[in-house]
Amino acid sequence: MCIFCDIIEGKIPSAKVYEDDQCLAILDISQVTRGHTLVMPKQHFANILECDEQTLAHLIEVVRDLAGKIVKNLDARGCNILVNTNEAAGQSVMHLHFHIIPRYGNDEGLNIEFDPHHEPYDLAEIVRDINKDR
Ligand code: AMP
Ligand code: ZN
């Protein structure tokens, strides 16, 4: 059992934003920005790589609709939609969830900066590596 399964089963209280037969959306307890929401499947999948096609298709539709609603109704100027996958990428709860983080253009608790490597990567080689078992 995991903490999100406990929330889904109502064993732990949460601020519910949306629910249907397949998924639940709740406010993230940390509220990186006002309205920071988590969308998760009711079935336990450790991460996005484990999730079946149908569930994922439904989830992403809910994420899109909720993100639109959050941005519009909370007067945000945009949002970040994040899925951390595995500990190395910052995943701390091993139950698939999408973060919807509305952005207001202020000094916020989230700062994503791309810091490109300047090594001379061989792009063709990377493409070959990615597709090597094709
Ligand atoms: P991640 O680091 O992508 O696994 O995100 C996990 C998120 O779950 C964090 O942003 C936490 O603040 C949030 N979280 C942990 N416990 C709870 C809880 N009981 N209710 C709501 N959000 C939670
Ligand atoms: Zn779970």
96/117 Cα distance (integer angstroms): 29
17 lines ligand 1 (CB under 6 A): no
39: left (phi over 0), alpha (psi -120 to 50) or beta: beta
Per-residue pLDDT reduced to its tens digit, 5-52: 999 999 999 999 999 999 999 999 999 999 999 999 999 999 999 999
pLDDT for residue 49: 98
Closest ligand 1 atom, residue 94 Cα: 4
Ligand 2 centroid to Cα of residue 78, in Å, is: 29
pLDDT at res. 134: 72
Report the alpha-carbon distance of residue 30 to residue 38 in Å, rounded. Answer: 11
Regarding the beta carbon of 12 and ligand 1, being less than 6 Å apart is answered: yes
Taking the centre of ligand 2 as the mean of its atom positions, its distance from the CA of residue 61, in whole angstroms, is 21
- The predicted model scores a pTM of 0.94
107, pLDDT greater than 80? no
Residues 6 or more apart whose Cβ sits within 8 Å of residue 55:
22, 23, 41, 43, 45
CA 90 from centroid of its chain's CA atoms: 11
What's the CA gap between 25 and 14, in Å, rounded? 10
Rounded Cα–Cα distance for residues 63 and 60 (Å): 5
* pLDDT, tens only, 50-95: 999 999 999 999 999 999 999 999 999 999 999 999 999 999 999 9
Atom from ligand 1 closest to the CA of residue 12: 19
Residue 3 pLDDT = 98
> Residue 108: which pLDDT band, with cuts at 50, 70 and 90?
confident
Active site residue 97: yes
